[in-house]
Chains A and B, each alone.
Chain A
Amino acid sequence: MIETFRLHQLLRETVSAPYRCLVTRPTGAAIRSRIEEALADSACITALLDFAEVEVIDFSCADEVIAKLVLAQHTSSGPYVVLQGLTEPQLEAVEHVLNHRRLAVAALREQPARPALLGCADDDTRQAFTTLCEDGATDPDSLASRIGWSRERAAAALEMLTSLRLARFLDGTVRPVPVP
């Protein structure tokens, strides 16, 4: 189950002025708080943050909305956070705040259609993520044979994916986070 949060709409409900800019820490904190309240009553697996119609997102706001939300969901084993609708300059800002806190998140982009990994992850984790998104559920043996890695290397990469909450472990396999 996926619950979608339209940031533009949340912004309009949070700030009285009709702007499309996600800026300032207090604004970011207020929006995150609304998302967390909604998630507390939700049984969703994926919290999809949709940035369509957002013009600007600054570092402070990105840190409050995205990085702190991802951190909180890590701590509470809450829903997986996925982003969509970010423009190239916005991706750059988001990537920066995630890197700074050593976090990572999946982001849906129009081209390519598959999710991209944003933030702090090594090459093996990135390759495992790409393969997982292409092939679906996997385990260390399957991944190792698919990429030509040792089983240990594949297992370490999948473990990193689940610990970063870029994938979930279910019924003995590692699976992609549900996305639309």
Chain B
Amino acid sequence: MTRIIEIPQSFDDRTFDQFAGMFGDWPPQERLLFDARGAQWASPYGLIAMLTAAQALSEAGAERPLFTAPLNDEVKRYWARTGFFRHAADFFEIHGRIPKAAEGPSDTLLDVTPIRAMDDVHKVVGDVPERAAKILQDQLNIRASETMRFSMALSEACQNIVEHSGTGGWVAVQAYTWRRRLGKRVVVIAVSDGGIGFRRSLEPAHAKRYGERWGDGAALEAGLIQNVSRFRDPGRGQGIASIKRSVDHWNGKISIRSGTARLAIVPPWDDDAPLAEHLPFFPGAQVQITIPAKDAPA
């Protein structure tokens, strides 16, 4: 028997719970078919969510899932250009014609990239600055000198995968326009893994303090708000703190989903709930950092 995982028509952080809800108990016992035929668009968060799920299934020993590609040629070309299909081929049995990845300029700041070891973090951070400086300056009115802040946030977000997830993960960064939500250009950094998640990572050192409140939501609060780490070294936990400071500096947003909860630091321009609990389970942790364009100087 096959379980259908219907990819949302517009797949981003807002439709992620719909996607996560289709898996049922984790790991699902049936073979899965990821049906993306009706997909019209996917954010970096959506693209790496599919890869995270497939990787987690593979690590759980599940049968290789099937994947039906979007019918829309433009969507397919775009997904190919981000590198999605190149990695998807390692985890899915893909059905449908896949275009070759097109070369040339795009608004992809960083293609879909696996993060498996610290060397991958070096490569990601080392490759990004020049392109990031141009996009931040030209599209977001953020000074080129802010590129280091951006690189630091990217570095810390990716390192968390290697240090805490117990497995590998994915990162993608892209600039695009949020017409309905903000009416501006944004850069979105999406980082995801299908590993142990915040609760299991922090449980040995911090669960006792929370007593019965301990769960995915409390673990996210400990990690994101209180900057605690599973390590006893007092210098730890500063990675997320530094990301938060940069996000605040940019009037941006950070949202982390782990297990059955999602916690966000919500800027005035967004109407997301700061904490959502009892969501459909999804393994690991999914981080989205959103940096909106600054208003151009008059």
Contact = CB atoms under 8 A, between A and B. Distances in A.
Contacts of B251: none
B117 to A, nearest CB: 9
Where chain B touches its partner, the secondary structure class is helix
B267 interface: no
Interface stretch (B20-28, B204-212, B232-240): B232-240
Contact of A60 (B129, B149, B156, B245): B156
Interface residues on A, range: 20 to 34
Contacts of B62: none
Given A56-B129, A90-B148, A19 B122 contact: yes
Contacts of A87: 148
Interface stretch (A1-9, A21-29, A37-45, A109-117): A21-29
Interface stretch (A92-100, A126-134, A147-155, A166-174): A92-100
Nearest to B150: A56
Contact of A101 (B151, B159, B234): B234
A21 B119 contact: no
Contacts of A101: 234-235
B39 interface: no
Nearest to A16: B119
B242 A56 contact: no
A68 interface: yes
A21 B125 contact: yes
A15 B119 contact: yes
B126 A17 contact: yes
A20 B163 CA distance: 22
Given A24-B118, A100-B235, A56 B148 contact: yes
A19 B122 CA distance: 7
A24 B235 CA distance: 13
Nearest to B234: A101
B150 to A, nearest CB: 9
A25 B162 CA distance: 11
B129 to A, nearest CB: 6
Contacts of B242: 58-59, 93, 96
Contacts of A17: 119, 122-123, 126
Contact of B118 (A26, A88, A100): A26
Interface in A115-150: none
Contacts of A68: 235
A89 interface: yes
B289 to A, nearest CB: 14
B235 A23 contact: no
15 contacts: A17-B123, A20-B126, A21-B125, A23-B125, A24-B118, A27-B118, A27-B122, A55-B129, A56-B125, A63-B238, A67-B235, A93-B242, A96-B238, A100-B234, A100-B235
Interface of B: 118-119, 121-123, 125-126, 129, 145-146, 148-149, 151-152, 155-156, 159, 162-163, 234-235, 238-239, 241-242, 245
| Across the A-B interface, the 10 shortest Cβ-Cβ residue pairs | A19-B126, A89-B148, A63-B235, A23-B155, A58-B155, A59-B242, A56-B151, A24-B118, A58-B152, A21-B125
Given A58-B151, A68-B235, 12 more contacts: A17-B122, A23-B155, A24-B159, A27-B122, A56-B129, A56-B148, A59-B238, A59-B241, A60-B155, A60-B239, A63-B238, A89-B149
